[in-house]
Structure 1
Amino acid sequence: MFALPLMILGGALLPIQTTFNSRLRESVGSPFLSSLVSFIGGTLFLLFLSTVVEGHFWFSPEDVSGQPFWIWTGGLLGVIGLTTNIFIFPKLGGVQSVILPITGQILMGLIIDQFGLFHAPQTSLTPFRSIGAALVLTGVFAAVLLGRRAKAPDSGTQQQGATSPGSQLGWQALAIFSGFLMAMQSPINASLGTLIGSGLKAALVSFTVGTLVLLFIALALRLKFRVRVPGGKTANPLWMWVGGPLGAIFVTFNALFVPILGAGSTIMAALTGMVTASLIVDKFGIFEAPRRPVTVLQAAGIAVMLAGVALIRLT
């Protein structure tokens, strides 16, 4: 009963995490170091939570004996998806960097449901589910793309740093593919959680793998960790360090609710929360984010997304 609203709430945590990590990036000077700090914070948070809630953070090797290797790859897929978004943003601009990965997540979520991939519950693609998915995509389109055009009608020129339309096809395909990877992370972590009997521990494994991957990247690039106060700022806020726990809660919710809702519904509920919270952050300028007006068209887009998620869940 509460799984769907909780998953929407979990998705709403991601834009706040992004705001925290973006502020942290200004202070440490590298997106990889910012992500590494976030993953370390999430790992420590899950380590503490697993110990408090379940008495310990380990599990029996017998629980995963003979299982396919992919059950360990949730954290790796998350890091690859995150890193890919870093690289596609200057090539495609902000709008496509949001829309295309979300499209990939929705499509892959429906594929996972249709064929029961990664041990996810199998749910056939019915006409109503197709309509629901189309509504979610329409809502995202209205809330992100049309909303921004409504706020900036004269922005017909190409975004600075973006590639020309003729050379964007490869980057656009990569953006959709990054959405595929992010969608696959949810049922993989859920499958691991089912095997070891704990969504918390599955999230801990995912964050630990992600931390190790990012640590390897930081060492390979010889990045130096230095914290400084960015220009125009007077101090570094404490909240910039706590993006990791927010991401950890989101990953835990995914591991817990995919077996209940299915991959497609879980992903679309999370996306609805994510877009809604993004607009709230824009409207009120929370946590030093730049304030941007929210249009009626964007609010209507959120309503359409909610209708799509409800239609998918109820059919």
Structure 2
Amino acid sequence: MLISLIAGFLLANQSPVNADLSRLVRSPLTAGTISFIVGTLYLAILALSTSGRLFPSFVFIQSQPLWIWLGGLLGAIYLTSNILLFSKIGAIQTTILPIVGQIVMGSVIDLFGWFGAEEVAMTSLRFTGIIILVIGVTVAVVLPSLRNRDVRQFDSAVAKQNHPAVVIGWQVWGIIVGVLAAMQQAINGHLGTRLHSTTQAAFISFFIGTILIAIVAGLVDKRIPTANELKATKPWNWLGGLLGGTFLLVTVIAVPRIGTGLTIMMGLIGQIIGSILIQQFGWWRSPKQQMVPAQALGMVLMIVGVGLIKIA
């Protein structure tokens, strides 16, 4: 639980790092591709140093179900969709809807033991904890955003640009994106168990995701970063892949041990705490924004919710 929390904190730092990189290379998809490439190289080094190999044998590949290789695909869909959702439904819903999807799907995966997970009964105490956790996330994320005039104006402008039916479709997709993210963590965790190598499983997922996001970036941007754009970057602009790769590796380690749901929930708490601290201190060239009482209350509720889930 602790390393999942820390991994979520690290992942929160990836967003502003990649945001600054996307400003320099003039494309969030190109920045995402660079981040994936760096993360893949990082995980390749870890996999070679710990297991001595990168890819499994052909016999192993043939013996496994097709869904066990979907982690990288789901990760690429998640990244691409978040970029698209921002301009379709606004900042607040882009943040909260995938989170709801992740929490719900993580709980369902544990309940029915999907993707090789151990079944976890849905007791009344566990259900209460999940509800309190969702309320805490909403209080910590939504209420401060509603008080931010710039965010409200941006979201209002986005809503006016699209037909209500189109907005509803993107809102549903926002929840589905969260569902896919939960599936990715469960699948990668099971792949690590089957391979007997968490680093190899993390590398394979990141490698597949890198290929897919590079294809998407090539089709959409139709350009590669120039030498001058890359020279303008700072060393920390390249940290996104290391942070994302570490988060993925930790989820592969944690899912078989504490379950998909708890891994997701601890990671989300870490992300929210990290985001609040980033705004508080203006890390990674982020605009400063003081923590408000709603964020502190939300964090307390999230901790209470996870505590109930843990003792259920």
| Structure 1 residues 64 and 124: alpha-carbon distance in aligned structure 2, compared to 1, 3 A threshold | farther
Question: In 1, distance between residues paired with 2:118 and 2:228?
Answer: 48
Shift of 1:216: 2.0
2-structure distance, mates of 1:255, 1:240: 25
Going from structure 1 to structure 2, the CA distance change for 1:229 and 1:295 (only over 3 Å counts) comes to farther
Residue 183 of structure 1 and its aligned partner are, at CA, apart by 0.6
Q: Pick the aligned partner of 2:116 from 114, 119, 127.
A: 119
Q: Residue by residue, what CA displacement relative to the aligned partner does 1:161-206 show, whole Å, maximum 9, x if unpaired? A: 3346833211110100000000100010011111110111100000
Which piece of structure 1 moves more, 14-23 or 37-46?
14-23
Residue correspondence of structure 1 range 111-190 to structure 2 within 5 A: 111-152=108-149, 155=152, 158-163=155-160, 166-167=164-165, 168-190=167-189
Q: 1:5 to 1:165 in 2, by over 3 A?
A: farther
- Describe the superposition over 1:132-154 as per-residue Cα deviations: whole angstroms up to 9, x where unpaired: 11111111111111122345499
CA distance in structure 2 between the aligned counterparts of 1:77 and 1:136, rounded to whole angstroms: 25
Of 88, 93, 105 in structure 2, the residue corresponding to residue 91 of structure 1 is 88
Tell me what 1:288 maps to: 285
Q: Which residue of 2 aligns with 1:277?
A: 274
Q: Provide the aligned length of Structure 1 versus Structure 2.
A: 309
Deviations 1:33-86 (A, max 9, x none): 111111110000001112223333343444444211011110100110111111
Q: What CA distance in whole angstroms lies between the structure 1 residues aligned with 2:259 and 2:302?
A: 17
For the Cα contact (< 8 Å) 1:27–1:228, is it kept in 2?
Answer: no
Instruction: Check whether the contact 2:44–2:54 (CA below 8 A) recurs between aligned residues.
Output: yes
Amino acid in the other structure paired with 1:73: L
Structure 2 distance, partners of 1:156, 1:26, is 22
In 1, distance between residues paired with 2:250 and 2:296?
26
Structure 1 residues 31 and 150: alpha-carbon distance in aligned structure 2, compared to 1, 3 A threshold: closer
Q: What pairs up with 1:1-315 in 2 under 5 angstroms?
A: 4-152=1-149, 155=152, 158-163=155-160, 166-167=164-165, 168-221=167-220, 223-227=222-226, 235-315=232-312
Aligned CA RMSD, in angstroms, stands at 2.1
SS for the counterpart of 2:158 is coil
Tell which deviates more after alignment, 268-277 or 24-33.
24-33
On the 8 A contact 2:146/2:152 being kept in 1, the answer is yes
Shift of 1:228: 7.5
- Whole-angstrom distance in 2 between the partners of 1:309 and 1:229: 47
User: TM-score scaled to structure 2, two decimals?
Assistant: 0.93
Unpaired runs of 5+ residues, structure 1, are: none
CA distance in 2, matches of 1:276, 1:46: 26
Q: Distance in 1 between matches of 2:154 and 2:3?
A: 40
Structure 2, unaligned runs of 5 or more: none
Whether the 8 Å CA contact 2:126–2:308 is kept in 1: the answer is yes
**Within 2, Cα distance between the matches of 1:116 and 1:76?**
22
Contact 1:76 1:213 in 2 (8 A): yes
Task: Name the CA shift for 1:72/1:162 in 2 (closer, same or farther; >3 Å).
Answer: same
Q: How far, CA to CA, are the matches of 1:216 and 1:34 in structure 2?
A: 13
- Counterpart Cα distance in 1 of 2:271 and 2:234: 23
Partner secondary structure for residue 63 of structure 2: coil
Q: Is the alpha carbon distance of 1:174 and 1:287 closer, same or farther for their aligned partners in structure 2, counting shifts above 3 Å?
A: same
Return closer, same or farther for 1:153/1:237 CA change in 2, 3 Å cut-off: closer
- 8 Å Cα contact 2:105/2:183 also seen in 1: yes
Tell me the SS of whatever aligns to 2:255.
helix
Superposed CA offset, 1:2-32 (max 9, x none): xx01101111111211111111111111222
Whole-Å Cα distance in 2 between the matches of residues 171 and 41 of structure 1?
A: 30
Which residue identity is paired with 1:159?
Answer: S
Distance 1:39 1:158 in 2: 29
Question: Which structure is higher in helix share?
Answer: 2
Taking structure 1 as the reference length, the TM-score comes to: 0.92
User: CA, structure 1 residues 125+25, in 2 after alignment: closer, same or farther (shift >3 Å)?
Assistant: same
Aligned-partner residue type, residue 203 of structure 1: A
